[in-house]
Amino acid sequence: AQRVTQPEKLLSVFKGAPVELKCNYSYSGSPELFWYVQYSRQRLQLLLRHISRESIKGFTADLNKGETSFHLKKPFAQEEDSAMYYCALRVSSGSARQLTFGSGTQLTVLP
Amino acid sequence: GAVVSQHPSWVICKSGTSVKIECRSLDFQATTMFWYRQFPKQSLMLMATSNEGSKATYEQGVEKDKFLINHASLTLSTLTVTSAHPEDSSFYICSATLSGQGGYGYTFGSGTRLTVV
């Protein structure tokens, strides 16, 4: 069965410092990976997905199949980046395509 | 953009009663909806996958007779917690996929906080 691991429950950095949120996965098939973000009192929303290889709000994430990782990075953290971040893996199961979430990392960017 | 409306946002009910949670896609047709449960400080755990017009597929360990899911139309799925007990207290979240979209087509509801007393 697939699994997503986010080893850090809490992460604090100072404004302007680089930040990396770790995500490792285990899946026997070809993975599709996503990062979701949940700001305080808001719903979960997609941040980025590995297929598009995009940078959203300064965040990037590279899929490393050798290390089975999909770490989220930003070179200069901002206070508005403070939120809960979830790494997610998509699998195909019949006609449905389900997401498996990691346990989440609460990022706090200090002034 | 795509919006999923989930209602109610919070509910308190007595033990033994049933509670219905609605999940509506407001401006798109959702062929598939997912129901998640989230305990405090824990991740979202998939409970079931619901396809319009067919029976829901439940994850292992989720009681289908307790968590009734109905997906009668392309814009509405409901989760009914039957004979609720305090251990059912949790945060329930639905998400919907846009018809024909790939993985980035997941849109989440704002969640429902259920407290059973």
- Report the side by side order of strands in the sheet with A19-21: A19-21, A72-74, A60-61
pLDDT per position as a tens digit, B45-67: 999 998 888 889 999 899 999 99
**A27-45: pLDDT as tens digits:** 887 888 999 999 988 889 8
Sort out which chain B residues have CB atoms less than 8 A from A9's CB and list them.
41
Answer for the pair A109, A82: CB distance below 8 angstroms, yes or no: yes
CB–CB contact A44 B49 (8 Å): no
Strands (DSSP E) along chain A, which ranges?
3-5, 10-14, 19-21, 24-26, 32-38, 45-49, 60-61, 72-74, 83-93, 96-101, 105-110
pLDDT tens column, A56-93: 899 999 899 899 999 999 999 999 999 999 999 987 65
- A92 close to B (CB below 8 A): no
Hey, what are A108's tokens? 């706090």
Contacts 24+ apart (CB under 8 A), B63-68: B67/B35
Give the pLDDT of residue B105.
Answer: 67
* Chain A, window 13-32: residues with a beta carbon less than 8 angstroms from a chain B beta carbon: 32
Q: Stretch B26-40: mean pLDDT, rounded?
A: 87
CB-closest option in B44, B102, B103 to A101: B44
Decide: B64 and B81 in contact? Cβ < 8 Å.
no
pLDDT of B99 higher than 60: no
Q: Average pLDDT for residues B19-33, to the nearest whole number? A: 89
The neighbouring-strand residues paired with A91 are A98
